[in-house]
Amino acid sequence: METAHFEATKSDRPVIAVTGPDKGGNIAWLCTALGVHLAGGKAIRVRPGSQPDNTSFQGLIIGGGSDIHPSNRKAVPLPDAKRSLWTRIKEAILFPMEALTTWTKGKHDKARDDMETRLIKYALKHKKPILGICRGHQLLNAVLGGTIFTNTLPLIGDRPRIRSPFPRKKVIYAKEGTLLEDIIGDEPIKVNAIHSQAVARTGKNLEIAAKEKSDIIQAVEASDNKQVLGVQWHPEYLFYMPEQRNLFKWLTGAAKHANE
């Protein structure tokens, strides 16, 4: 696990660039790097203040974090969220992380947006495999011209919003034969939820791979190749689940053969 710049490696482990913020994000980085390492790759941390001198990576992970800056995405208008007091009480009891996240919500990180946008465009141009995680899934979609819901509460309705690093919800495939199904299997996926925004309309050459009960898009993938995947959840925190580790195995495997 290295930081600051990409460099060639003599090992068989493909170099996977993992993006993140200049401040914070250490737990996400360590968990993601572990997932990459267990999958046979070599994770390199990339942040706005420590960008590489070159782009000699074989695969790219756009990580989670703060909301995307308004200038870097197109939002869909949403109605006000009508939620009862009882729903909010249940939510606070069942998912205390929801209240904690509201109190500690960080600012936008435009420098990171700009860095990740450049890396996404480079990876797409040079056919490097991409895995977008939560915010990364949303930014990938935005770069390709898609739109975003800036708040999922109006979509959920008068039900508690699940926010937990543990697998507390299930999502289902939008159709058969998706890349995601090939990677994880054909059963409903158990996932976590640490987000408050979501993909609305998919971008160019992206299609919906999975949704949840409220129709929130949980995964998108490229319709014209097998190199691009975005997931709304955080598989790095679910490294103890074999099907979630398969996402990193897919990425490192695709990265290893990207330039063959």
Query: In the prediction, which pLDDT does 259 show?
Result: 61
Query: In the prediction, which pLDDT does 88 show?
Result: 83
Query: Is 172 within 8 Å of 217 (Cβ atoms)?
Result: no
Query: In the prediction, which pLDDT does 240 show?
Result: 95
Query: In the prediction, which pLDDT does 79 show?
Result: 86
Using CA atoms, how far residue 15 sits from 45, 51, 225, in Å, is: 10, 15, 21
Query: In the prediction, which pLDDT does 11 show?
Result: 60
Q: Which CATH number fits domain 2-256: 3.30.565.10, 3.30.1110.20, 3.40.50.880, 3.40.50.620?
A: 3.40.50.880
Using CA atoms, how far residue 159 sits from 94, 101, 152, 190, 235, in Å, is: 12, 18, 11, 19, 24
Residue with tokens 């480079």: 122
- Closest to 244 measured CA to CA, from 255, 258, 233: 233
Query: In the prediction, which pLDDT does 206 show?
Result: 97
Query: In the prediction, which pLDDT does 34 show?
Result: 97
Query: In the prediction, which pLDDT does 101 show?
Result: 64
Query: In the prediction, which pLDDT does 187 show?
Result: 85
Tokens of 228: 């691009």
* One pLDDT digit (tens) per residue for the chain, 260 residues: 333 333 434 468 999 999 999 999 999 999 999 999 999 999 999 999 886 555 679 999 999 999 999 999 999 998 888 888 888 888 788 787 766 665 445 578 999 999 999 999 999 999 999 999 999 999 999 999 999 999 998 988 888 888 899 999 989 888 889 999 999 998 888 999 988 899 999 999 999 999 998 889 999 999 988 899 999 999 999 999 999 999 999 999 999 987 65
- Closest to 63 measured CA to CA, from 242, 230, 243, 245: 230
Using CA atoms, how far residue 236 sits from 2, 14, 96, 148, 217, in Å, is: 17, 18, 21, 23, 19
